[in-house]
A and B are shown apart, each in its own frame.
Chain A
Amino acid sequence: MGRITLDKVTKSFGETEVIPPLDLTIEDGEFTVFVGPSGCGKSTLLRLIAGLEDTTSGQIRIDGNDATQLPPAKRGLAMVFQSYALYPHMSVRKNIAFPLKMAKMAQSEIDQRVDNAASVLNLADYIDRKPGQLSGGQRQRVAIGRAIVREPSAFLFDEPLSNLDAALRVGMRMEISELHKKLATTMIYVTHDQVEAMTMADKIVVLRAGHIEQVGSPLELYREPRNLFVAGFIGSPKMNLIGGAEAEKHGCHTIGVRPEHIEISASEGPWSGTVGVSEHLGSDTYFHIHDTGLADTITVRADGEVGFNYGDRVHLSPRKDVIHRFGADGLRIA
């Protein structure tokens, strides 16, 4: 079980309030991702849940029990740190066994659980090595192994993939998602990378300056961003935000059109501009269009085979049904 409820939780460091009163419920078995730009308080929020920071006020409940004053070890949560925080002088086996040893578990039970974790995470080949002899991805797996042997009610991940190279990151992303499906345990995952959030989460919590901007499934956030911040943050490349006269035509202050919802053509379309930099990814091409009179740059996603050159004059047509409208206060207009 692992239902975590935050009730009017606040956190201040001296005079600075990092987390204003915040309510949030994380259901049992859910993969929740906290996402936001750096300094938005997402790591602090995770550390509050872990018990590594004291809450200034409010209540944290785990499975309905008040855990606000409980020390970290008593909360039944396991955490994977950004630096992995492996114990450098212990072998992989001892690292994974450490929490069980601290819980004074019988040696036979410890061995069984460590072997089990090692086989789940494919650690068996290097179980007797020291962390210093492992690659980044292997260390990451050991850190996860150390977390799963405790059979915690929830896992906490603090930007676990940010130290890995891009290729490995995609692989580990899959592995963590796989692990979540296998264990069906609550997981809370902190990242500043919206791609990680979109690909892994059941529920995304978008944070800015300690405030929750929006909570929802990845597709909800993609389809109906509640405000301009979420609209700009979720989706890659970023949504084009257009103000002025064009927005007024739609009866609002700002309109948002995602790059994948704009057609590019040489001859026809209501908007026009010149092609700037184009990024060829093979499957897709992103064109950055200038001189449209709408915004500095309009980003357009096109098929990989579409070829326009720098300086070409092009026409753009946004898909009418997926134009997002925002009022002067930045909030979405339904």
Chain B
Amino acid sequence: MATKASRSAARVMMAPAVILLLGWMLVPLTMTLWFSFRKYLPLRGGDLGGAGFDNYLRFVSSSAFWPSVITTLLIVGSVLVITVCLGILLAMLLDQPMWGQGVVRILVIAPFFVMPTVSALVWKNIFMDPNNGLFAHLWRFFGADPVSWMSAASMPSIILIVSWQWLPFATLILLTAIQSLDGEQLEAAEMDGAPHLKRFWYIVLPHLSRAITIVILIQTIFLLSIFAEIFVTTGGAFGTKTLTYLIFQRVLESQNVGLGSAGGVYAIILANIVAIFLMRIVGKNLDA
């Protein structure tokens, strides 16, 4: 359909958008790479010249580096497991015909519309506050000592908050996938003698595999850079310092742009390693 002329015209017309996007991506990346090889301390003299691989060596040899990588992976992994498992269950529940279906579906999606900072603050102050939080009241009602969530159970708390935020996304994607399952397939499996659990295992779950893959890939991208939830709750204390948070501390709290940029490059490498693993494990589900 497209003639040679219309194809080249299309290229010319797409060019501004492509160049803009490319610049948007390349400029920060180049700047990060540039700064990572400089000794750049904004409040202590500014750019103090080249630093070679000093920043890279300092960043990895810091005692906070490996714990932060592990914390990052732990949060990403746990949130993925929780959102995918609960998401499948919720999606199957919401797929059932029930009264007030439309309203319920909107309510389920609602947490996704709440800004991360706000939702983390709501959890921290309204639910998890050790003196006045709802959980504290609940614990006291049963005669137990209130848990000081943010210090004593910091990781589970953050995982809980982040899971709560991302569960709607998983549910929504999985719900649309479940709705596209052919009812006759389930009936055929029922005729073939498969009880409920086996129908789920052999028919529903394979049908959802592609949607689950998409949920895992998209969530991983966003969860690797999770920041706001940690910033407003623990502030990186009590073993909740992720790689992103560590970079933030290096750049803004220590005012060392060079060191932070080197961390940023490590974060890119980590993200790529995770991406390669994910594509190996689940990527084949995307081939039709």
Q: Which of A61-84 contact B (CB under 8 A)?
A: 71-73, 77-79, 81-83
Write the residues of chain B forming the contact surface with A, with a CB cutoff of 8 angstroms: 182, 184-185, 187-194, 198, 202-203, 206-207, 209, 288
Q: Is the interface of B mostly helix, strand, loop or mixed?
A: helix
Q: Complex: how many Å from CA A288 to CA B194?
A: 54
Q: Complex: how many Å from CA A85 to CA B194?
A: 14
Return 15 A-B CB contacts under 8 Å, by A number.
A52-B190, A73-B192, A79-B187, A79-B191, A85-B187, A86-B185, A87-B189, A87-B202, A88-B207, A89-B207, A98-B192, A99-B191, A99-B192, A99-B193, A102-B198
Write the residues of chain A forming the contact surface with B, with a CB cutoff of 8 angstroms: 50, 52, 71-73, 77-79, 81-83, 85-90, 98-99, 102-103, 132, 146, 150
Q: Complex: how many Å from CA A150 to CA B191?
A: 11
> What distance in Å separates the Cβ of A92 from its nearest Cβ neighbour in chain B?
15
Partner of A52, one of B185, B187, B198: B187
Partner of A98, one of B202, B206, B288: B202
Partner of B188, one of A71, A77, A81, A89: A81
Partner of A79, one of B188, B203, B207: B188
Pairwise interchain contact A72-B185, C-beta atoms closer than 8 A: no
Q: Could you count the A-B residue pairs with CB atoms below 8 Å apart for me: how many are there?
A: 58
Chain A residues with CB under 8 Å of B203's CB are 87
> What distance in Å separates the Cβ of A217 from its nearest Cβ neighbour in chain B?
29
Pairwise interchain contact B192-A146, C-beta atoms closer than 8 A: yes
Chain A residues with CB under 8 Å of B288's CB are 132
> What distance in Å separates the Cβ of A250 from its nearest Cβ neighbour in chain B?
49
Q: Is the interface of A mostly helix, strand, loop or mixed?
A: loop
Known: A73-B193, A99-B193, A103-B193. Contact between A85 and B188, CB under 8 A? yes
Chain A residues with CB under 8 Å of B192's CB are 73, 98-99, 102, 146, 150
Pairwise interchain contact A50-B194, C-beta atoms closer than 8 A: no
Chain B residues with CB under 8 Å of A78's CB are 191
Partner of A102, one of B182, B185, B194, B206: B194
Q: Complex: how many Å from CA A87 to CA B182?
A: 10
Pairwise interchain contact A72-B190, C-beta atoms closer than 8 A: yes
Chain B residues with CB under 8 Å of A102's CB are 192-194, 198
Chain B residues with CB under 8 Å of A87's CB are 185, 188-189, 202-203, 206
Q: Complex: how many Å from CA A146 to CA B184?
A: 14
> What distance in Å separates the Cβ of A93 from its nearest Cβ neighbour in chain B?
15
Known: A87-B203, A89-B207, A98-B202. Contact between A77 and B191, CB under 8 A? yes
